[in-house]
Amino acid sequence: MAYLERIEGLVKDRAAWPKEDMSLVLLVLDGVGDVRHPDFGMQTPLERAETPNLDALALRSAMGRIMPVDYGITPGSGPAHLGLFGYDPREVEIGRGVLESLGLNMDLKFGDLAARCNFCTLEGGVITDRRAGRPATEESRKLCKLLQEKITGIEDVDVIIQPGMGHRFAVVFRGPGMEEGVCDTDPHENAEPLHEAVASHPGAEKAARIVDEFQSRALEVLKGREPMNAILVRGIAERPDIDSVTDRFGLNAGAIATYPMYRGLAKLVGMNVIETGTSIEDEFNTYRDTRKDYDYHFIHVKGTDEAGEDGDFDHKVNVIQSVDSRLGMILDQAPDVLAITGDHSTPCCMKLHSWHPVPLLLHSGRCDVSGGSRFTEHECTEKGTLGTFHAVHLISLMLANAALLDKYGA
């Protein structure tokens, strides 16, 4: 029997829970993991940051590190979060376009093909900025509206465009024969030309043709509108059918996230997406307001990942310090279990997601206290009683620390 099936079978019926108002909290600092590098004084942002609240919590918590997918594997945000939620990302695949479109409340039907897109800057046929200078969301909205007016359909396929945040937007292609299996047109690096959409199997050839035509028409519409004069099409996928966290683990789960993709992922696994503001304080206040409405809260902080991708070490430190200064807003609600981690590492020296294990702090009244004095990568390794393990096991540790799992066997 698979590991997750064993865990699902051990979850106690709600009537046997130790208390009615259980509160399990997963606080994800996106891309928080980093590496020591000479360009940044041989410290990670967690080491450089002043974090008195995290330090105090570390003294009373279990710590360790998690592998989002597997050793040496660099994860996308989708599989990385799936692991944290208790779904083995080596078995369940979800395209980024699906997550973005669901997070933007688009009506994504089975059989549709969804894509996550970036506005970018193209000069002389080469991408000079994959994020078009991170434009204001309002500017992106204007161009999304223009694209939708000019591109309503291609062949017998409807094209539905929805603006996201900053340089991002989503597209849904709706029509017959739109099978997934189309590569990104995004080269994932600057100083490279736009890629063509290529089908990985014959059934996806129509979809590749439609995506290529969409990109070509978009280039015509955006010509002369620097820095947002081109688009990248990414994460092209169909909506999968997967079990909810309620069906798997008996949890009534709520998600607090500002970015569409993470709301979409939460929605896909059956979490209720809770309306919130755009700041860390807004998100933590939303937890306070809904603490008794859900057994499990997923709270997502994006700024650490953005700073890592920009190579902005100081900003990544500042985001960590902002979380720390507001951590009492969560702690004063006395969650039964609090896990603080990232979905993956985004080292500032790389400006990309990486394969490095992610620091984890797990706090409860039943945890095996590690005795570390700080929540950092190296403290989690050197003093962490949890060791290093695959992210998919985190949900069972959270359930166990909440006394929500029965004994296995006689």
pLDDT of residue 95: 81
pLDDT value at 5 more than 80? no
- Contact in structure between 52 and 372 (CB atoms under 8 Å): no
Tokens of 282: 């807004």
Three-state SS for 126?
strand
User: Does the domain at residues 99-237 carry the CATH identifier 1.10.287?
Assistant: no
- What are the CA-CA distances from residue 28 to residues 299, 361, 410 (Å)? 6, 11, 36
How far is 247 from 185, CA to CA, in rounded Å? 37
Query: Distance (Å, rounded) from C-alpha 342 to C-alpha 319?
Result: 13
What is the distance, to the nearest Å, from the Cα of residue 139 to the centroid of all Cα atoms in its chain?
A: 24
Residue given tokens 């360790």 in the structure block? 64
The pLDDT score that the predictor gives to residue 1 is 37
Q: Angle at CA 306, nearest 5°, toward 338 and 23?
A: 15
Q: Where exactly are the structural domains of the chain?
A: 3-93+242-401, 99-237
- pLDDT score, position 43: 95
Percent of the chain with pLDDT over 90: 83
Cis peptide leading into residue 52 (ω within 30°): no
How far apart, in whole angstroms, are the C-alpha atoms of residue 325 and residue 70?
33
Q: Higher-confidence residue: 193 or 8?
A: 193
Angle between helical axes of 77-85 and 96-103 (0-180°, round to 10): 80
Q: Which residues of 192-206 are buried (b: 16+ CB within 10 A; e: fewer)?
A: eebbebebeeeebbb
- Residue 325 is predicted with a pLDDT of 97
Q: Residues 121-132: what's their mean pLDDT?
A: 93
Q: Supply 48's token pair.
A: 């450089």
Confidence category of residue 378, pLDDT binned at 50, 70, 90: very high
pLDDT digits (tens, 9 = 90+) for 250-286: 999 999 999 888 988 898 899 999 999 999 999 999 9
At 380 the pLDDT is 96
Q: What is the mean pLDDT of residues 285-294?
A: 97
Q: Is the pLDDT of residue 248 over 70?
A: yes
Nearest partner of 164 among 105, 223, 225, judged by Cα: 105
* Token pair listed for 92: 């369940």
8 A C-beta contact, residue 190 and residue 128: yes
In this structure, what token pair is assigned to residue 404? Answer: 């929500």
**Please, what is the average pLDDT of the chain?**
93
Whether the Cβ atoms of residue 227 and residue 129 lie closer than 8 Å to each other = yes
CATH of 3-93+242-401, one of 3.40.720.10, 3.30.530.80, 3.40.50.150, 3.40.228.10: 3.40.720.10
Q: What is the pTM of this model?
A: 0.80
User: Are 298 and 253 within 8 A, CB to CB?
Assistant: yes
What DSSP string describes 242-300? ---HHHHH---EEEE-SSHHHHHHHHHTTPEEPP--SSHHHHHHHHHHHTTT-SEEEEE
> What is the structure's pLDDT at 2?
59
Sign of CA dihedral 276, 278, 280, 281: negative
Which tens digits make up the pLDDT trace of 334-361? 999 999 999 999 999 999 999 999 999 9
Percent of the residues in the chain that have a pLDDT greater than 70, as a whole number: 98
* Arithmetic mean of pLDDT, 208-221: 96
Common-topology check for domains 3-93+242-401 and 99-237: no
Q: How far apart are CA 211 and CA 29, in angstroms?
A: 33
What would the pLDDT profile of 161-191 be if each residue is shown by its tens digit? 999 989 999 999 999 999 999 999 999 999 9
The two tokens of residue 152 are 């309503």
